[in-house]
Amino acid sequence: MFIRLFLTYLLLVILAVAAVGVLILQRSDGSALFFELGKQVVVAVVVIAFVAVIPAYVLARRFTRPLDELTTGARRLAAGEFDHKIHVSGSRELTTLARVFNTMTDHLAETFRQLERDREQLRTILSGMVEGVVAIDNDQVVLFANDRAGVLLDFVPGLAVNRKFWEVTRQRAVRELVERALADDGPHREELDWKGSTVKSLVVYVARLPGPDSVGAVMVLQDTTDLRRLERLRQDFVANVSHELKTPLANIKSSVEVLMDGAVEDPNARGMFLEQIAEQADRQQMLIEDLLSLARIESVENGLAYESVLVEDAVHACLDRHRTRAEAKGLTLEGVASADSPVKLALWADEEGLAQLLDNLVDNAIKYTPDHGRITVRWQATADDVQFEVEDSGIGIPARDLPRVFERFYRVDKARSREMGGTGLGLAIVKHLVQAMKGHVRVTSTVGTGTKFTVTLPRVKRND
């Protein structure tokens, strides 16, 4: 544009001088004078054209410099330099255009900053989700994957981006679900059992991105492993409760029917059946009381009254309650404090809950310890806690059953447990009581040697 303006200015000057020369020549009458004036006009045109180069250059440069500034600013804006400002002097029109351009640049800069903030916020939200999120384009290239998706699909999110989805995961069911979602507009949902490095249950949702020219699809993955496990526990719990309640009721009903059929008239038979009815009623009452106790402990407001409880008093009170049963089997029942435990060692707990906790552990030990065995309750203090150990010389628990002994109604030996009158809820109550009192419990055992339950609860400090 500068060259065109420069040549235009120069040409206008030359034409103006030439026009003046032509007018002068037209007014001349003599031929000699005509030729002399012609030469002078040509020389004047050449001289004036040479002299007019500089003004033409200055005028052209002055006109095009603001346009060059605007062009340079537009390029720098396109390159992302939103802080660049254009400073133009000259006519009012050009300065106004420069101000409008700078205002537009400021607005674009703020818009891009807001978009970047929104983008980072969205990435942060997606990265913090418990669900896995994967975005893919129409060619199945991974555009985005959050950390949770990497955990659920067994890949590294940073390495998965810009790769084909079928290269990222080898699970055929997931790939087929993605292919179906990209083939039509409807959302797809499927429950899958993941067979990767860890077995888990997943619910996968895949839907195309909205819009007439959709660029791909988004996948949302939800881990339902714990929900499945809890559902199985619920089903097992309902089945076990039904069975445990049905068994004593069936015995009571059969005994009543026998009595009604005439056994009530036989004093010897009548006593036997009445004893069985009383025994089964007691068993059912124990089960209902354990269920109510477990429900109370698990409730949000469990009703536990926390106070300072002397450890030695609580342990010896528990042993006294069970001593008659232990002596009937010839068992040695003792409580032992560690050498460095304070005399008045106290813990912060619910006194009734602590008594129930110890009763269940000692009762369990008495049931599964053969005659003439030994049961020892030890306690010791640490900086912040009190640790109880209930150890027996009983039959022990197989290693495969140890992770499940605190489950409701779980029995290592079902027939023997029911024969001994247990409800199957004792250790579950122990676990929930310990958790409610901010402690933890663990178990170790060797088959044929014995079992040791270790309970840790917060102690009362001197400044409490």
DSSP string over 2-33: HHHHHHHHHHHHHHHHHHHHHHHHHH--SHHH
Other CB atoms within 10 A of residue 384 CB? 9
Q: Is the pTM of this model over 0.85?
A: no
Q: Is 326 helix (H, G, I), strand (E, B) or coil?
A: helix
Burial zone of 14 (CB within 10 Å; 0-12 exposed, 13-18 middle, 19+ buried): middle
d(CA 41, CA 339): 129
> How many beta carbons lie within 10 A of that of residue 287, not counting itself?
20
pLDDT at 314: 92
The whole-number pLDDT of residue 15 equals 62
- End-to-end CA gap in the chain: 89
Angle, helices 2-27 vs 31-78, to 10°: value is: 170
Backbone angles phi, psi at 363, to 5 degrees: -60, -40
> Alpha-carbon distance 46 to 464, whole Å?
110
Radius of gyration of the chain (CA): 47
Q: Which amino acid is at 273?
A: F
Q: With a cut of 70, which residues of the chain have pLDDT below it?
A: 1-67, 88-91, 93-94, 122, 125-128, 196-197, 211-214, 298-303, 413-423, 461-464
Domain 306-458: homologous superfamily in CATH: Histidine kinase-like ATPase, C-terminal domain (3.30.565.10)
pLDDT of residue 463: 46
- pLDDT, residue 69, reads 73
pLDDT value of residue 8: 63
**Is the separation of the CB atoms in 360 and 427 below 8 Å?**
yes
What pLDDT does residue 390 have?
A: 94
Domain parsing of the chain, residue ranges: 1-126, 128-223, 228-298, 306-458
Select the CATH number that applies to the domain covering 228-298 from these four: 3.40.50.280, 2.10.77.10, 3.40.50.2300, 1.10.287.130. 1.10.287.130
Please state which CATH number belongs to domain 128-223. 3.30.450.20
Reported as a single tens digit per residue, the pLDDT across 255-313 is 888 888 877 777 777 788 888 888 778 777 777 777 777 777 766 555 678 888 899 99
